[in-house]
Structure 1
Amino acid sequence: MAPIYWLFWAWWLPLKLAVVVAEQAEGCSATSCGNVTISDPFWLSDWQMERSCGSPDFEITCLNDTPVLPSSVPSVGFTIMDISYEEQSLRVVDVCKLTLLQASNSCQVTVWNTSDKLGIPFKIDPINLNLVMYNCTAAAVARQGRELEQTRMRCGNESQVFVRTERSYDETSAMEGCDTLVVVPVLGGANGKANTSDYGQLIGGGFLLKWQRAPVSGSKRAFRKIMLIALTSAAATLLFTCIYFLIWHKKCKRLWFLKKTSNNNEKNYEAMIVSYGSLAPKRYMYSKVMKITSSCSDQLGRGGYGVVYKGRLHDGRLVAVKFLHDCKGNGNEFVNEVMSIGRTSHINIVSLFGFCLEGSKRALIYEYMSNGSLDKYIYSGNPKETLGWERLYAIAIGIAHGLEYLHHGCNARIVHFDIKPQNILLDKDFTPKIADFGLAKLCHANESKLSMTGPRGTIGFIAPEVHYRNFGVVSTKSDVYSYGMMLLEMVGGRKNVNSMAENSSKQYFPDWIYDHFAEDDGFQACDVTSEIEEMAKKMTFIGLWCIQILPIYRPTIVKVLEMFERSLDEMEMPPKQNFCELLEDSAHNMSVQSASSTIPEV
């Protein structure tokens, strides 16, 4: 019976594959998402679909009855408002730009120009205007006078970010004394002009995209279909002939292609990533990743997680490719990193360009950061000599902005759980970017506490409540604790764990910083001169507030940024911490835990 069984499969499978190929060649049937009709050449993707029925260039995802065109860079993408199939055009909204302007009263803008997020076959219709955002110096503002003042972004009287509309734009048309931040196409009014002060409304109104695809003749389509069916049938017949030979003449116990190549967890990882559809970062084949890294020829670093190599994408961009070790324990961290950082787009968050998942082969493709990680500067012999206090101070504020975005700027709140100098990368301009989201946890924006199955983080930076819940609930303030400890290391120029191991309990690192902060002689032990003592004291002051043992006494990251704007005279001295007293008073700790669970995140 067995030979007949396999011969049946050898006949049935080519027939089934031929039917599938024929269906795919016919294209997708028309459907709808919300009020928008989706038909050829566009097609609606669904993670439950067993196949795709159109070109990947025209894939659309339906989210909450809203059609979304994916972005070619790490981003949410474009909301489709309507499609004109006759004119081969569609009106879309750049979701990231609109969300950032509506959800924040700061002058932050996303780093990607809208045109950079569009690939073939789409191009921006010339009928659109260009909404250009500039960062201007005080001198430029004074020189431009009232005309420039009328275009100031509505995010504070001291804002130096301005907007204006232009019919055509290139770098030579930038205003003197102003750097271009981002260019967004928008539709003008009936007269082809637009009111710049309504920049939020202009972006919300969307802009026009045109598309064009190469025509495929009917004869070519039919020939392609016939060739695919013939090749598929021939390959399937050859395959099952080999299987028959292996089973009945070599007495193999299993079919080689049915051999289990991954455990249930790996299948779950695949399902989780597929469920995100077009919102997941770009996926690369392992062979493509090897080509990007020139077969792993330029190693950048090595750690417990794996090895990082330098690479280059087809468009010339330099990248850092992190290959994870072949082990069972990194699957959850891999999916965490892909899904959490894939949702972000911020100047202080490292960009994830793509990933690879083929069985046990896992890799993450990041933007290349030419100045490496922060730890190699602050732990060096003369850290302040390399960076300078002004740059170190700016790095501290940049990291806080990145955390503010993770905690409050995303659709889903992200708690990083591993903030430390090794996970802060610096680009060519020493702009800090938070990296390594393997331990991150996503939660709803209205959640004030997190449920966890066990502690996570790095010794020396883990908040007390992550280990011992009597201190309080786990929340975004757990990241604030790690950030505070990192601030103190940036000031002290030494690792807090080493200082604890090499000296007595009296030299507990935060106490060492606290004592020098309180002394009249200032920060001589930290190589701080009088000229920059204000910055060093402020970083220390904020760091000591952030590492308060009980999370209810720590500031939120929003409050931390406000503290950077104040003078030292406006700040109160934080209390010196004592672990032992708080551990002994368990009744007090339990009441604190109960109270902190009712305090909302700000």
Structure 2
Amino acid sequence: MAIFQGILLLIVLIGELGGAEEQHDECITPTTCCQKGGPDIRFPFWLKGHHHQNCGYHHHGFDLSCIPHSKYPLLQLPFSVNVFVKHIDYKSQTIFVSDISISDSDAHGCFPRQLQNLSLSASPFQFPTDNSTDRYSGINFISCSQTYDPNFVGIFPIACLSNQSHQVYATRSWSLPDLFCTKMYNISLPYEITGGYEQHITFDVLQLNWNKPVCRECEAQGKYCRFKNNNNNSSSQLLNGTTECFGNIRQPISGTSRKLEITGGVLGLTLCVIVIVIIAIYRSNKMKKEDQAKINKFLEDYKALKPARYSYADIKKITNQFEEEVGQGGYGIVYKGKLSNDVYVAVKILNNVKGNGDEFINEVQTMGRIHHINVVRLVGYCADGFRRALLYEFLPNNSLDKFISSNQEKHSLGWEKLHDIALGISKGIEYLHLGCDQRILHFDIKPQNVLLDNKFNPKISDFGLAKLCSKEQSVVSMTAARGTVGYIAPEVFSRNFGNVSYKSDVYSFGMLLIDMVGGRENTITQNTSECYFPEWIYKRLDQGEDLGIQIKAVGDAKIIKKLIIVGLWCIQWYPVDRPSMKVVVQMLEGNEDTLSVPSSPFASTNPMPKKATMDGRTFNSDLELVSESE
């Protein structure tokens, strides 16, 4: 009771001080982050933890924050694009931003990766405009399996996106150098920041302007700027640009030091109360304390670098009080939500009555590393007390299983489109295995976890069971089986078949391909006894019999045969007999006439082979057992 009385007293005290703030013009002292050398921060910007929120234009994109070991404040642009503000020119109303880094002496992050998500439509900032010239340039990012000389082909390496198996380059040309490259994404930026049309493409400092509120005249006169009547939270003030000049930048108004001292005291008292409240909550939730501490520590390390964090109140606004439900599962319920500028999201509300926080941490940590066209994008997350939610890009066509469970819907997509979907999924899994800093093993590949966008492009989702390990590691140790029955590889159940590795995802993908051909509910009944469909289709294919699958377009039979053969290679009993996802992608992109039917994946009594071959390729069976990386 004493704690809550203290909180109530603090709220009253802060309210009284807030009223005093509105009566005095004491938001004028320029503020910087902890280290010297950063930009002066004043209206319309305000610095969290240093300024009262009424000192700037609150909640409209002008709020900055300091992070440890950096003299530059952090600005969050829409869609979780976080940048450092290197300099603010108040006279021209221009800011100069660069990529975030942990400290000024450390290596910078990866600006090109952030720029693919950059959209200024929902922010007060825009690129500088010049009507006399075309200032925008389209930059393509391509991934190549071999290294090229930039001076020869006109492409420029992007080291932070590259890895041992693939080199990523930036180029202004729409054409690729050869078949060893694939296009990742395209961005459009003012060509000056990329070095000009005839120079190397570089990514350093980005220049942004703001039009309102208008303070140029005040700055030119050496005076401070504010909204008239000090009404900083009025949207009409921003739209009408009703600002006024006051004071003198060179001669600060008296009383500022006193106000700073009071503000510091209030902040100190606030911090003490927050600590007391946290301790009280910690003690009153003994059953959840380890879970809560784990999540809080993870989010503390994660803030300002990854997707945006939302409060539970934000989640209710985004979903319009959970108005439209679009899905439901063991994890909880998924609702359709809307961010600014008609951007829709899928909000997954996680159950708070089960688990210890591992799946939440796993999914946020894993998906924060992923940037691929065939993997669903994490927009944000919520960890407000014990309420947890994940926000993803909204994909209107639901999951793949809705289109392979009946022949009518499958026919509406067509076999060519189903082949494209299969190829997209395989590229997404290949990226998880080879394209990130650490190898990501999904462990739950199935049609329900493949979502389709408005053009039916596939995106892999649900990383709650995923595991991370270094690329040098081939195998992970597991204490219990994970995944969905029907898609779990044999070695996950029993080590007699081999060690658990990235080949376990290959098996699940193979079962998904078989499902795309026959459907999980499609079993063949002969003489009143049911036959396992994958085994039935293998026997038909191996004996050259008709597959009994309806086709209407020319070339459908070849597509179906290719999907079956690749699927059968992937579901071999022993991991060493399965191809890697890189080989799977090559098989799906290649000519089906060159594929050979593998040996039966259902002869479980055969001794474990040392090697397996396919079209002259040998799959190595020597996999060293290593522990997973948590």
Q: TM-score, normalised by structure 2?
A: 0.67
Is residue 442 from structure 1 mapped to residue 468 from structure 2 by the alignment?
yes
Contact residue 325 and residue 334 of structure 2 kept, 8 A:
yes
Q: Normalized per residue, which structure has more helix?
A: 1
Per-residue displacement from partner, 1:310-355 (whole Å, max 9, x unpaired)?
1211332112111112213162111111111122222211122111
Say yes or no: does 1:566 pair with 2:590: yes
SS at match of 1:288: helix
Structure 1 residue 206: deviation in Å? 5.4
Partner AA of 2:380 in structure 1: G
1:31 aligned to 32, 35, 40, which one? 35
CA deviations on 1:399-433 (whole Å, 9 max, x unpaired) are 11211222222233221111100011111111111
Superposed, which structure 2 residues align to 1:168-317 within 5 Å? 181-187=186-192, 193-195=196-198, 201-204=200-203, 207-209=206-208, 259-260=284-285, 262-317=288-343
* 2:624 is the alignment partner of 1:597: yes
Is 2:117 aligned against 1:130?
no
Partner-residue secondary structure (3-state), 1:92: strand
Aligned ranges 1:36-75 → 2 under 5 Å: 38-41=38-41, 52-53=49-50, 57-59=63-65, 72-73=78-79
Shift of 1:279: 2.0
Q: Offset at 1:438?
A: 0.8
Task: Give the CA deviation at 1:492.
Answer: 1.0
Q: Counterpart of 1:187 in 2: which secondary structure?
A: helix
**Equivalence for 1:250:** none
Aligned partner of 1:408 in structure 2 is: 434
- Structure 2 residue aligned with 1:90: 96
Match of 2:119 in 1: 116
Q: Is the aligned partner of 1:520 residue 2:571?
A: no
8 Å CA contact retained: 2:474, 2:623: no
Contact 2:487 / 2:507 at 8 angstroms: preserved in 1?
Answer: yes
- 8 Å CA contact 2:122, 2:340 repeated in 1: no
Does structure 2 retain, via aligned residues, the 8 Å contact 1:462–1:482?
A: yes
User: Would the alpha carbon gap of residues 346 and 471 (structure 1) be closer, same or farther in structure 2, given more than 3 Å must change?
Assistant: same
Distance 1:362 1:561, change over 3 A: same
Does residue 358 in structure 1 map to residue 369 in structure 2?
no
Higher relative contact order (CA 8 A, sep 6+): 1
Alignment partner, residue 393 of structure 1: 419
**Alignment counterpart, residue 151 of structure 1, candidates 163, 173, 196:** 173
Q: Structure 1 residue 90: deviation in Å? A: 3.0
How far residue 183 of structure 1 moved from its aligned partner, in angstroms, is 1.3
SS of residue in 2 equivalent to 1:362: strand
- For the residue of structure 1 that corresponds to 2:483, the secondary structure is coil
Aligned equivalent of 1:550:
574
How far 1:553 sits from its partner (Å)? 2.0
Q: How far off its partner does 1:67 sit?
A: 10
Query: Would the aligned equivalents of 1:111 and 1:346 in 2 still touch at CA under 8 Å?
Result: no
Q: Which runs of 5+ in 1 are unaligned?
A: 43-50, 102-109, 136-146, 163-179, 244-253
- State whether residues 79 and 118 of structure 2, in contact with CA within 8 Å, keep that contact through their aligned partners in structure 1: no
Instruction: Work out the CA distance in 2 between the residues paired with 1:421 and 1:31.
Output: 51
Post-superposition offset of 1:572: 2.6
How far has the Cα of 1:368 moved from its partner? 1.3
Instruction: Name the SS of the counterpart of 1:116 in structure 2.
Output: coil
Deviation at 1:569, TM superposition (A): 2.6
Matching residue of 2:372: 346
1:373 pairs with one of 399, 408, 421: 399
Cα distance in 1, alignment partners of residues 210 and 528 from structure 2: 67
Task: Read off the aligned partner of 1:151 and give its amino acid letter.
Answer: S
Contact kept, 8 Å, 2:137 with 2:189, in 1: the verdict is: yes
The alignment partner of 1:354 has SS state of: strand
**Deviation, structure 1 residue 585:** 6.1
CA displacement, residues 204-224 of structure 1 (integer Å, 9 cap, x when unaligned)? 455444579975676697797
- Which residue of the partner structure matches residue 496 of structure 2? 470
Q: Work out the CA distance in 2 between the residues paired with 1:445 and 1:79.
A: 31
Aligned partner of 2:538: which letter? Y
Structure 2 distance, partners of 1:224, 1:120, is 31
Output the CA distance in 2 between the equivalents of 1:306 and 1:131. Answer: 44
Secondary structure at 1:595's aligned position in 2? coil
Three-state SS of the structure 2 residue aligned to 1:429 is coil
Q: What per-residue deviation string (whole Å, max 9, x for no partner) do you get for residues 427-467 of structure 1?
A: 11111111111111122333322233322111111122222
- Return the letter of the residue paired with 1:557: M
How far the C-alpha of 1:57 sits from its partner, in A, is: 4.0
2: distance between equivalents of 1:425 and 1:268? 30
In the alignment, the residues of structure 2 paired with residue 336 and residue 66 of structure 1 have an alpha-carbon distance, to the nearest angstrom, of 30
Q: CA, structure 1 residues 159+337, in 2 after alignment: closer, same or farther (shift >3 Å)?
A: closer
Amino acid at match of 2:127: I
Match of 2:531 in 1: 507
Aligned length: 518
Q: CA 1:40–1:510 in structure 2 vs 1: closer, same or farther (change >3 Å)?
A: farther
Segment drifting more, 204-213 vs 393-402: 204-213
**Matching of residue 457 in structure 1 with residue 483 in structure 2:** yes
For normalisation by structure 1, the TM-score amounts to: 0.70
Shift of 1:480: 1.4
1:59 shift after superposition = 3.8
Deviates more, 1:439-448 or 1:218-227: 218-227
Post-superposition shift, 1:61?
5.6
CA distance in 2, matches of 1:383, 1:17: 60
Decide whether aligned partners of structure 1 residues 533 and 267 sit closer, same or farther in structure 2, where only a CA change above 3 A counts.
same
